[in-house]
């Protein structure tokens, strides 16, 4: 019996359920047209609604339950909105968003991939027309660093209070994320070569390569992990002489993301620095409404990876049918491609979904459309494509 791939659909809060509904419609359509070995279950948690009823954002055995699935498709977590209702049930961010971090940690989803490519039709925020060439992949270390949540508060509430927030960087996690970056750079170079659209990157010693990895640190101030990252990067670069290498301090990287984002290819950054850079990268490539993201465990097939757009719950527009589902649809396409590593029909479905969403974006540049309308348009394209 061929394996059926099972997805845990977790719509979450705010606009999550609205955008997830469109993704599920596309999955249904793709499944019926291509006979995909795909199944999904929609779960009411994690969410504010679940917390309101049960006093916790998700059941205590949530991770065990989720482990039985092959992937998790998450809408958004956070303020459920609408902001016009001051009496809505509202949790502190640290509580409502904890399940996201628990899943990343619990399933060792150590890679967060956030592609930033300014696709035709997406809003171009930069005036410089070279922005059309923006095509980078930001790889965020997703398992440790600034997000280990170690520390505490001493003498809380007194004038002598002390808060500590530890950052932890291991050589193991550093090496694996850097290697992942180099491998992705190679893959991107070979995909571009196959499409007949190679790119060129100059190294400091004047060599030309078809891909590049830029490592980000703040080693002039945070020198311990910054130096370890730099050394690990330099050592690994020897194994990838075909890939140009580059280091940027995170503050300079922010400046260059705005000044010349087209000069970047693969960017590897720590958990927090990657978090910040990817909000910026999302805007450079059309805004939060089109920015996909995924949290991957590339080593252990028994651990589900999690697919959620970069955007949050957007409480200002929640429940109004105004949220752009494009980011969610691109994210769902990436999920299919990820599962497609084991099942070629899912890979093909992922590409079909990506193409349909990209074509819809290209054709409807700047038009004001509702969530459902965009979902309808993408579904029609999937049908037309056969
Ligand atoms: C993201 C979000 C999360 C993060 C928050 C909600 C904890 O900003 O996925 O980028 O910081 O990782
Ligand atoms: Mn973020």
Per-residue pLDDT of the chain (386 residues; tens, 9 = 90+): 689 999 999 999 999 999 999 999 999 999 999 999 999 999 999 999 999 999 999 999 999 999 999 999 999 999 999 999 999 999 999 999 999 999 999 999 999 999 999 999 999 999 999 999 999 999 999 999 999 999 999 999 999 999 999 999 999 999 999 999 999 999 999 999 999 999 999 988 889 999 999 999 999 999 999 999 999 999 999 999 999 999 999 999 999 999 999 999 999 999 999 999 999 999 999 999 999 999 999 999 999 999 999 999 999 999 999 999 999 999 999 999 999 999 999 999 999 999 999 999 999 988 999 999 999 999 999 999 87
Give the integer Cα–Cα distance in Å for 350 and 43: 23
Give the integer Cα–Cα distance in Å for 203 and 213: 11
Residues 6 or more apart in contact with residue 222 via CB below 8 angstroms:
167
Residues 139-179: tens digit of each pLDDT: 999 999 999 999 999 999 999 999 999 999 999 999 999 99
Q: Which atom of ligand 1 is nearest to the CA of 279?
A: 10
pLDDT attached to residue 233: 98
Q: Which residue's alpha carbon is nearest to atom 7 within ligand 1?
A: 97
If one residue of 111, 272, 275 were mutated to test the ligand 1 pocket, choosing by the most ligand atoms within 8 A of its CB, it would be 275
Give the integer Cα–Cα distance in Å for 142 and 109: 7
Half-sphere exposure of 24 (CA within 13 A, CB side): 20
- Among 305, 343, 350, 347, CA closest to 2: 343
- Which three-class secondary structure string do you get for the chain? CCCCEEEEEEEECCCHHHHHHHHHHHHHHHHHHHCCCEEEEECCCCCHHHHHHHCCCCCCCHHHHHHCCCEEEEEECCCCCCCCCCCCCCCCHHHHCHHHHHHHHHCCCCEEEEEEECCCCCCCCCCCHHHHHCEEEEEEECCCEEEEEEEEEECCCCCCCEEEEEEECCHHHHHHHHHHHHHHHHHHHHHHHHHCCCCCEECCCCCEECEEEEEEECCCCCHHHHHHHHHHHHHHHCCCCCEEEEEEEHHHHHHHHHHCHHHCCEEEECHHHHHHHHHHHHHHCCCHHHCCCEEECCCCCCCCEEECCCCCCCCCCCCCCCCCCHHHHHHHHHHHHHHCCCCHHHHHHHHHHHHHHHHHHHHCCCCCCCHHHHHHHHHHHHHHHC
If one residue of 100, 141, 276, 309 were mutated to test the ligand 1 pocket, choosing by the most ligand atoms within 8 A of its CB, it would be 100
Give the integer Cα–Cα distance in Å for 187 and 197: 14
| Under 8 Å between Cβ of 6 and 39 | yes
Q: Which atom of ligand 1 is nearest to the CA of 271?
A: 12
Q: Which residue's alpha carbon is nearest to atom 6 within ligand 1?
A: 97
| Under 8 Å between Cβ of 103 and 63 | yes
Q: Which residue's alpha carbon is nearest to atom 10 within ligand 1?
A: 275
- In the reported structure, the alpha carbon of residue 112 is separated from the centroid of ligand 1 by a whole-number distance in angstroms of 11
Give the integer Cα–Cα distance in Å for 336 and 354: 10
CB atoms within 10 A of CB 6: 16
The pair of structure tokens assigned to 358 is: 């990209």
| Under 8 Å between Cβ of 288 and 125 | no
CB atoms within 10 A of CB 353: 27
Q: Which atom of ligand 1 is nearest to the CA of 278?
A: 10
- In the reported structure, the alpha carbon of residue 310 is separated from the centroid of ligand 2 by a whole-number distance in angstroms of 6
């Amino acid at each position: 019996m061929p394996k059926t791939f099972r997805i845990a659909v977790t719509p979450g809060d705010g606009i999550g359920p609205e955008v997830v509904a469109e993704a599920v419609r596309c999955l249904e359509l793709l499944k019926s047209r291509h006979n995909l070995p795909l199944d999904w279950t929609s779960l009411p948690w994690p969410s504010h609604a679940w917390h309101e009823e049960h006093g916790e954002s998700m059941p205590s055995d949530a991770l065990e339950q989720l482990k039985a699935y092959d992937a998790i498709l998450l809408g958004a977590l956070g303020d459920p909105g609408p902001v016009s209702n001051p009496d809505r049930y509202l949790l502190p961010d640290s509580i409502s968003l904890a399940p996201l971090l628990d899943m990343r940690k619990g399933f060792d989803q150590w890679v967060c991939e956030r592609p930033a490519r300014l696709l035709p039709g997406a809003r171009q925020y930069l005036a410089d027309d070279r922005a059309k060439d923006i095509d980078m992949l930001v790889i965020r270390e997703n398992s440790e660093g600034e997000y280990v949540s170690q520390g505490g508060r001493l003498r809380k509430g007194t004038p002598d209070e002390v808060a500590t927030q530890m950052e932890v960087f291991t050589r193991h996690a550093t090496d694996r994320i850097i290697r992942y970056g180099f491998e992705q750079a190679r893959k991107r170079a070979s995909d571009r070569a196959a499409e007949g659209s190679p790119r060129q990157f100059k190294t400091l010693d004047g060599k030309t390569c078809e891909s590049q990895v830029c490592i980000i640190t703040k080693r002039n101030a945070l020198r311990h992990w910054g130096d370890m990252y730099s050394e690990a990067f330099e050592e690994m670069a020897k194994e990838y002489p075909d890939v140009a290498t580059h280091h940027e301090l995170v503050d300079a990287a922010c400046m260059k993301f705005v000044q010349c984002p087209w000069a970047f290819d693969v960017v590897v950054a720590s958990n927090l620095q990657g978090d910040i850079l990817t909000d910026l990268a999302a805007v450079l490539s059309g805004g939060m409404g089109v920015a996909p993201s995924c949290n991957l465990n590339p080593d252990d097939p028994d651990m589900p990876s999690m697919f959620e757009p970069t955007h949050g719950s957007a409480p200002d527009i929640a429940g109004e049918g105004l949220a752009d589902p494009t980011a969610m649809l691109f994210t769902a396409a990436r999920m299919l491609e990820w599962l497609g590593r084991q099942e070629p029909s899912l890979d093909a479905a992922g590409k079909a979904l990506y193409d349909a969403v990209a074509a819809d974006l290209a054709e409807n540049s700047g038009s004001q459309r509702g969530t459902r309308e965009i979902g309808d348009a993408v579904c029609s394209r999937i049908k037309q494509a056969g």
